[in-house]
Amino acid sequence: MSNFSQKPTIIFDMDGTLLDLAYDDLIWNQLVPIQYAEVHQCSIEQSKEVLFQFYQEHSHTLNWYSSHFWSTKVGFDVLALQKKQQHKVSRREGCIELLEYLKANHYPCWLATNADCASLKFKLKQTSIEQYFDVIVSSETLGHAKEFTAFWEKLHQLHPFDAQQTYFIDDTEKVLLGAQKFGLQHLITIQQPSSTGLIRENSNFPMINRLTDLIPLLEQAEEQKQYA
């Protein structure tokens, strides 16, 4: 007998997918540069230049997602700065509606995030979404960022899933490409990850805007299964 549920597993990214990326943009593009300028006695322009250099060097690595790494790098407590603003963490439109739908229709629901364990903890608390997930993993725990197939191999070892059937929704192109390389079949991206950011024109993957736009896609797939 198969261990897999009849309904496909739905794996979600957190920041920029279920949650509004505007919070992270505020922290990393505005507040960190301001505090860096204060601590290192330089202008905001100089601060942004130095930080941009750091960001370029570490983008898409585990370090990039580590509050501890950044605290050491910039010389102040980045996690404390994030927590001070935690009331600004918010869910994207349709988030609860979608998660309620998936729960009511018995879809296994997982959260796979590159956020480190400390950020994951306060973000889950702030947004009350923890209850909807059967599995929650941070790339910090697995030791690899989601951009790399090693993340997916490790996740698959710990929590087996059917890569042919599973849906994965993430706002980062490089993450989706990593998942594709591993063999995940149903990959979907987000058109506007940040409510204060740009609307994407194109992607290598199908795009949804409102999270509830996923529902008709799943219903269509279920219907096709019935007639297959």
DSSP state of 211: G
The first and second tokens of residue 50, run together, are: 């130095």
Q: Which residue from 116, 140, 147, 171 is in contact with Mg ion, where contact means CB under 5 A? A: 171
Q: How many CB atoms lie within 10 A of CB 66?
A: 23
Which of 24, 161 has the CB closer to Mg ion? 24
- Please, which residues bridge with residue 12 across strands? 111, 169
Which of 15, 147 has the CB closer to Mg ion? 15
16 touches Mg ion (CB under 5 A): yes
The stretch near Mg ion (CB under 5 A) out of 11-19, 71-79, 145-153, 159-167 is: 11-19
- Please, which residues bridge with residue 91 across strands? 19
108 touches Mg ion (CB under 5 A): no
Q: Which residue from 8, 13, 70, 127 is in contact with Mg ion, where contact means CB under 5 A? A: 13
Which of 18, 37 has the CB closer to Mg ion? 18
Which of 14, 218 has the CB closer to Mg ion? 14
Exposure pattern of 153-170 as b/e (b: 16+ CB <10 Å)? ebbbeeeebebebbbbbb
The stretch near Mg ion (CB under 5 A) out of 7-15, 44-52, 101-109, 135-143 is: 7-15
The stretch near Mg ion (CB under 5 A) out of 34-42, 74-82, 156-164, 170-178 is: 170-178
Instruction: Give the shortest CB-114-to-Mg ion separation in angstroms.
Output: 7
Q: Which residue from 9, 15, 70, 147 is in contact with Mg ion, where contact means CB under 5 A? A: 15
Which of 47, 139 has the CB closer to Mg ion? 139
8 Å CB contact between 124 and 132: no
Whose CB is nearest to Mg ion?
16
Crossing angle of helices 32-39 and 67-74, in 10° steps, is 30
Instruction: Give the shortest CB-135-to-Mg ion separation in angstroms.
Output: 17
Which of 8, 16 has the CB closer to Mg ion? 16
Distance CA 83, CA 191 (A): 27
178 touches Mg ion (CB under 5 A): no
Which residue has tokens 């219907």? 223
Sorted by sequence, the CB contacts under 8 Å of residue 165 that are 6+ apart come out as 4, 8, 9, 185, 186
How do the residues of the chain divide into helix, strand and coil, expressed in percent and rounded to 5?
50, 10, 35
The stretch near Mg ion (CB under 5 A) out of 16-24, 73-81, 195-203, 210-218 is: 16-24
Binding site for Mg ion (CB under 5 A): 13, 15-16, 171
